[in-house]
């Protein structure tokens, strides 16, 4: 599956601001982490931006359309005196677009509920990134940057991680993605070689996903030459 994660705003456009926060910074953290979690489930994840740059709304939609992704998710932080979480699809959307969004919304809203913040509902609006994308798409508003309680939570890395995880879990459920591969799991393509290396005493069988030092490389080569 191929997804596009859109971190709202960026560059000269900070988005909503309040309580020492800028929307563009939070959305980028969320978008990148959501993408990492989906990648761990085997998804092909693209991003409209991976750093602090400005993009027109039409550029974001065009990038998703050109990449041929199956789903487009735009990440935002709200403002205007409210509190809590809400999500949007394009006006008049139906079918898969609503079904996917509803699953994602349920997962994320549950995290807001745990900290006493409200579920503001599943809505529709004529938003450019939803209107101009050719695939099912949703826009999520993760709390209010100008609300004291919301902003305090948005400053908490643990809360950001839970929001990213709940979003990725919702997308994974919607699209039937497999469970994330654990760091210490050996990839299927490497299993035969790994088992041989362990049985031969070349490696101890731990840390299959870790990078190796030069010392470890020469040690394994030395063990191999002694066989």
Positions marked active-site: 141
- Which DSSP string corresponds to 185-214? SPPGGGHHHHHHHHHTTSS-S--TTS---H
CB 87 within 8 A of CB 157: no
Residue 173: CB atoms within 10 A of its CB come to: 14
CB 58 within 8 A of CB 130: no
- Check residue 136 and report its DSSP letter: -
Residue 146: CB atoms within 10 A of its CB come to: 18
CB 88 within 8 A of CB 52: no
């Amino acid at each position: 599956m191929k997804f596009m994660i859109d971190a709202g705003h960026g560059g000269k456009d900070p988005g909503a601001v309040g309580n020492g926060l800028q929307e563009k910074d939070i959305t980028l953290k969320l978008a990148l982490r959501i993408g990492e979690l989906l990648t761990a489930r085997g998804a092909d994840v693209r991003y409209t931006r991976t750093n602090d740059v400005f993009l027109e709304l039409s550029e974001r939609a065009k990038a998703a359309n050109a990449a041929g992704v199956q789903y487009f998710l735009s990440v935002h932080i709200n403002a205007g005196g409210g509190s809590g979480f809400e999500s949007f699809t394009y006006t008049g959307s139906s079918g898969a677009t609503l079904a996917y969004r509803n699953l994602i919304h349920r997962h994320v809203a549950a995290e807001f509920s745990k900290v006493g913040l409200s579920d503001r509902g599943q809505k529709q609006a004529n938003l450019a990134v939803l209107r101009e994308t050719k695939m099912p798409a949703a826009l999520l508003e993760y709390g209010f940057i100008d609300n004291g309680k919301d902003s305090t939570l948005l400053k908490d890395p643990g809360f950001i991680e839970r929001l990213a995880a709940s979003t990725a879990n919702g997308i994974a459920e919607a699209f039937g993605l497999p469970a994330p591969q654990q760091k210490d799991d050996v990839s299927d393509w490497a299993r035969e070689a790994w088992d041989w290396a362990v049985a031969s005493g070349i490696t101890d069988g731990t840390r299959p996903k870790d990078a190796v030092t030069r010392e470890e490389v020469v040690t394994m080569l030395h063990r191999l030459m002694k066989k």
